[in-house]
Structure 1
C-alpha cells in the first residue's frame, strides 16, 4: 500500500469518525430525561412542534415534548411534556408555542403561574396558546391594506 492511499484511508476514517460523533451528539440532544414526570397540554394548533422539541422555562431548556397525539373527540393536539423532578410548576401555569425566529424552529415555553398548588405528574396545563401562523398573519395584513385602499 502506498503512502498516498494510506493518507486517504486515514483521512476517510477521520471524516467517518467526525460524522458519527455528530450523529451521536444530535441523537443525545433529542433524548428525553431518564427521570422526571410528564404533563399534558392540549393545543388548537401545534404547528412547528414535534416529538423531541425543546420545552423552556424563562428561556432555559428544561425538558422535551415526548409525544403528540390528536384527540379524536376534541380535535385538539395533545402534547406530553417531560420535565425533571426538580421543576415544579404551579397549577395555573401556561404553555405557549414560541418560535426561535422568522425562519427558526418552534419550542414550547412554560410560564409559571402564582398558585400555591403545583401540577402533579399526569396533570394537564389548561392555559395554552397555540402556534401563530406567519402566513395567516401576512394574509390578514394584506387583506387589511386592500380594504383600506378602497
Structure 2
C-alpha cells in the first residue's frame, strides 16, 4: 500500500512541476491572455540583436514587445512594430533606442520619453530612432586610434 502512495505523491510532484514550468514559460514569453496593447511603428538603421519578442522598456520596466520586423526595400531600414501596454501613454516627442543590457548582455528596445503634453495614438510612427551600436566596431575604432 505504501508503494501506491509513493507513486501518487511522485506523480503529483511531477504534475505540479510541469504546471509551474508552463506558467513560468508564459510569463517569460510575455504571453498573457488579458493584456491589451497598441502598436507603434519605428524605422531603424540597424536592429542588431533585436528580433520579434524582444522586450520594449520604459524606465527599465517592460511595457511591451517587438511584434514585427520587416526590411524596407526602398530605404534599406528595419521597419519595426512594437506593442505597448494600453494605459501607458508615450509623449509624441519621445525617442526609441536600441540599448544593451551590459557588456555581455543582449539588446532591448528602450523608449526615452519626451516632455510633450500630446501622446502617440495607436499606429503612429516614432520618428526619433537610434539603431544598435556595434560593440566590436567601437572596440576596433578605439584600438586603431580612429576618431569620427
* TM-score for both structures, normalised by structure 2: 0.82
Query: Which position in structure 1 is the counterpart of 2:26?
Result: 27
2:92 counterpart SS class = coil
Cα distance in 2 for partners of 1:31, 1:13 equals 27
Runs of 4+ that moved beyond 4 A: 6-17
Deviation at 1:26, TM superposition (A): 2.3
- Count of residues paired in the alignment: 144
2:145 counterpart SS class = helix
| Alignment root-mean-square deviation, CA | 2.6
* Structure 1 unaligned regions, length at least 5: none
Query: Which position in structure 1 is the counterpart of 2:49?
Result: 48
Cα distance in 1 for partners of 2:139, 2:15 equals 44
2:139 counterpart SS class = helix
Deviation at 1:85, TM superposition (A): 1.6
Query: Which position in structure 2 is the counterpart of 1:37?
Result: 38
Is contact 1:41–1:79 with CA below 8 Å preserved after alignment?
yes
Cα distance in 1 for partners of 2:144, 2:135 equals 14
Cα distance in 1 for partners of 2:38, 2:6 equals 51
1:117 counterpart SS class = coil
